[in-house]
Structure 1
Amino acid sequence: MIQSSSSVPDVLVIGAGIVGAACARACVEEGMSVAIVDAAAPGGGVTAAGMGHLVALDESAAELDLCLLSLRLWDAFLDEHPAVGEPHRCGTLWVAEDEHQLEGAEARARRLNGRGWRADLVSGDALPGVEPALRRGLAGAVRVAGDSVVYPPAVAAALVKQACARGAVARFGQRVVALGADHVVLADGTCVSAGRIVVAAGVQVAQLLPEVPVFARKGHLAITDRYPGTLRHQVVSMGYGQPEGGAGALAVAANVQPRATGQWLVGSCRQDGQVSTEPDPAVTAAVLRSAMALLPPLATMRIIRTWAGMRPASPDGLPIIGRHPTRGQVWLAAGHEGLGVTTAFGTAHLLADLMLGRPAAIDPGPYLPGRLLPTGAPAAGGHTRGIA
């Protein structure tokens, strides 16, 4: 239990999803005293609803910087904890359906290889031998061998457990209802002070900090029964990650993961302007059709569950990491959208660098909160109410 005030932690982390849990553990490893608060159990919320890909995305140089920093930290973690989160180092096949997409795949391979993250071109003729489940007639693919798949809720729970084993204290099932510059108020009225407050509350960040432009982007997923050995790689369309056509527009691009259980986890889509997390059968059908267009065996498989969730997105597509410019010692680790799992460790590392005032592992500029916050943001010492 977090105690109300005789002992003030150096850092209080709001949110124990994959990002918040990684931040808590990183701060503990840096010698800081840490408290963690979450309304649910570790790994709930956004983390429980999403896919668990560890993938190098390169839609901007900054995005690739954070991905590669994080993926190398993930590699070290998985080497040290091979049983945590059902890791599957299956690699990713970025599949090109036509010559235009193949040109994009070739450019991606050049960028990744140029940064030391191996990416091999696979011709259309060679694809059936690399991934037999793919349909014939595809233009080709890029195989990124270093990418992996994990089960994120289990990793988040393990990170919290590791942080607590090193002295962190945690309180779950208690919401944060108000946030000040150096304290939070919990739903039971407890006031918890801290030297720094890290807000890593997923899609609920904007409820605690209304000026922070994190918004919900809905996605739909489906998972099959067990079909061991039928899919070798994570298979992703080269159309994945492209910008939507506008508010409320639906963007669908296949992303299918082989799980350690033998199941196929099928996504993905993006849709703005949604408020319900209830799955829409028409959207789920569109996601499945997109996946079946690349992987015909899926059409004969039994789907055992479908669900939807909200990703915490930012206006420019990059996470918001660093100190809030006007709220005292409030720090942000937010807006990761579909890359929260991939970039969790890199986010935590960058946040610790910034907190300790040491040279950062990557350029923090593209991620700092000041790039998005309005000039009229509440002043330090302001008090806001919300739910996290």
Structure 2
Amino acid sequence: MTEGLIADVIVIGAGIIGAACARALSQRGLKVVVLDAGWHGATAAGMGHLLVLDDNPAELALSQYSLGRWRELAHLLPEGCAWRNNGTLWLAANPQEMAVANSKYLNLLAHGEACELIGRAALRQREPELREGLEGGLLIKGDGILYAPAAARWMLDSPHIRRQRAQVAEVDGSQVRLDDGRWLRAEAVILANGIQATELCPELPIEPKKGHLLITDRYPATVTHTLVELGYVTSAHNASGPSVACNIQPRPTGQLFIGASRQFGTVDPQVEGWMLAKMLKRAVDYMPGLAQLNGIRAWTGFRAASPDGLPLVGQHPQRKGLWLAVGHEGLGVTTAPATADLLVAQLFNEASPLAPQAYLPERFLGEPVYVS
């Protein structure tokens, strides 16, 4: 059975990307239905780190613009969203990594980011729990943290948005079939459900990257900034095998998030003891006192990774009426507002706040086969 138009737009996925898209569309007065199967996706599993990354110009443009949008929203966010502008401190373990820090510093400074190079002595003053012997670091002052599940719920709290628990079995342009056989129609459908997107569009070049996280008991004032080793940059884009990198984030509760790991070739959600141990050992290498803290829970999640590390944002070139907002890997929370702005500009045929070419799906899926 096919129902009439149930909304102007159907969004598949109620994580931070789908929620940001739904909110942006609702602010234009559109009626939006958000369909979500209720799986605990990357939004629930991630650290909620808001950061500017500059591995390439398109990544820098997207993350920098989006972080600016988060700062604009900050005063509206409920306290439960746990927004904090605590900055990211990239850690250099040796002179070679300090040279990388200096290069990042010059690049980010040239693009207007507030940042500061920090030497050995100043590093221990900023973060006394770090081990001795680190070469220094780079502080990105505008970075922050957020509790993404609460932010997504806040974004979906609009009279123009209706959220519905439903499993989508098929997408055909601007209509979707639920697992109970019903077809729902709208003017447009936005696919924003992370790694599940390939179940509805097998042609998408999205690969899951498994990650482990651990959260500690409450230890207030142990860490101030989000601490990330500069080796994370190479680790994050290592597609050849499992990798770990030190990533320690203080939560407003006084707890610490400890990451990070990356694994390809598995969709098993189980916590793997060997990988968790490897990840924690790496963190303890940078902050020896972590070994004395109580870890209260560990879990896993899956990042939806594209081949070039950039998301697919825009019309599906072979499926008229279907729009994509997928493939954000570990930057979904950071880049959610930018993704929504890019997509809305395309839907309304308006000037985009960012050059959209680097993120368009046709870079993988080919030229459009229909006229818009």
**TM-score under structure 2 normalisation?**
0.96
Match in the other structure for 1:300:
292
Deviation at 1:167, TM superposition (A): 1.4
Does the residue aligned with 1:315 lie in a helix, a strand or coil? coil
Match in the other structure for 1:276:
268
Pick from 53, 67, 79: which aligns with 1:57? Answer: 53
Cα pair distance change 1:121/1:271, threshold 3 Å: same
Identity over aligned pairs, percent? 40
Match in the other structure for 2:250:
258
Number of equivalent positions: 369
Does the aligned pair in 2 maintain the 1:252–1:268 contact within 8 Å?
yes
Deviation at 1:37, TM superposition (A): 0.3
Q: 1:133 & 1:146 partners in 2: Cα distance? A: 22
The C-alpha deviation readout for 1:309-333, integer Å capped at 9, x for no partner, is 1110001111110000110010000
Does the aligned pair in 1 maintain the 2:49–2:334 contact within 8 Å?
yes
Match in the other structure for 2:141:
145
Amino acid at match of 2:172: G
Q: 2:180 & 2:69 partners in 1: Cα distance? A: 37
Pick from 99, 109, 118: which aligns with 1:113? Answer: 109
C-alpha RMSD of the superposition: 1.7
Match in the other structure for 2:210:
218
- 2:75 is equivalent to residue 95 of structure 1: no
The C-alpha deviation readout for 1:298-355, integer Å capped at 9, x for no partner, is 1110011111111100011111100001100100000000000110111111111111
Pick from 3, 7, 28: which aligns with 1:5? Answer: 3
Pick from 149, 161, 164: which aligns with 1:171? Answer: 164
Does the residue aligned with 1:345 lie in a helix, a strand or coil? helix
Deviation at 1:32, TM superposition (A): 2.0
Does the aligned pair in 2 maintain the 1:223–1:265 contact within 8 Å?
yes
Match in the other structure for 1:317:
309
After TM superposition, the structure 1 = structure 2 runs for residues 118-267 of structure 1, keeping only pairs within 5 Å, are 118-161=114-157, 165-172=158-165, 174-242=166-234, 245-247=238-240, 249-267=241-259
Amino acid at match of 1:83: E
Q: 1:4 & 1:262 partners in 2: Cα distance? A: 51
Q: 1:277 & 1:374 partners in 2: Cα distance? A: 33
Which moves more between the two structures, 179-188 or 364-373?
179-188
Does the aligned pair in 1 maintain the 2:4–2:184 contact within 8 Å?
no
Which moves more between the two structures, 63-72 or 24-33?
24-33
The C-alpha deviation readout for 1:75-120, integer Å capped at 9, x for no partner, is 1111222514112221110010001111111111111111111110
Q: 1:365 & 1:155 partners in 2: Cα distance? A: 28
Does the aligned pair in 2 maintain the 1:8–1:195 contact within 8 Å?
no
Match in the other structure for 1:386:
none
Q: 2:75 & 2:175 partners in 1: Cα distance? A: 37
Deviation at 1:373, TM superposition (A): 1.4
Does the residue aligned with 2:79 lie in a helix, a strand or coil? coil
Match in the other structure for 1:385:
none
Amino acid at match of 1:22: A
Does the aligned pair in 1 maintain the 2:124–2:130 contact within 8 Å?
yes
Does the residue aligned with 1:241 lie in a helix, a strand or coil? helix
The C-alpha deviation readout for 1:191-219, integer Å capped at 9, x for no partner, is 11011110001101111001111110111
Does the aligned pair in 2 maintain the 1:78–1:84 contact within 8 Å?
no
Does the aligned pair in 2 maintain the 1:196–1:329 contact within 8 Å?
yes
After TM superposition, the structure 1 = structure 2 runs for residues 360-371 of structure 1, keeping only pairs within 5 Å, are 360-371=352-363
Deviation at 1:189, TM superposition (A): 2.1
Amino acid at match of 2:37: A
Cα pair distance change 1:69/1:338, threshold 3 Å: same
Deviation at 1:7, TM superposition (A): 4.0
Q: 1:307 & 1:106 partners in 2: Cα distance? A: 34
Q: 1:146 & 1:220 partners in 2: Cα distance? A: 26
Match in the other structure for 1:70:
66
Does the aligned pair in 1 maintain the 2:17–2:336 contact within 8 Å?
yes
Q: 1:182 & 1:332 partners in 2: Cα distance? A: 12
**TM-score under structure 1 normalisation?**
0.92
Does the residue aligned with 2:71 lie in a helix, a strand or coil? helix
Does the residue aligned with 2:299 lie in a helix, a strand or coil? strand
- 2:19 is equivalent to residue 21 of structure 1: yes
- 2:342 is equivalent to residue 350 of structure 1: yes
Amino acid at match of 1:21: A
Pick from 32, 35, 40: which aligns with 2:33? Answer: 35
Deviation at 1:246, TM superposition (A): 4.3
Does the aligned pair in 1 maintain the 2:317–2:366 contact within 8 Å?
no
Does the aligned pair in 2 maintain the 1:211–1:374 contact within 8 Å?
no
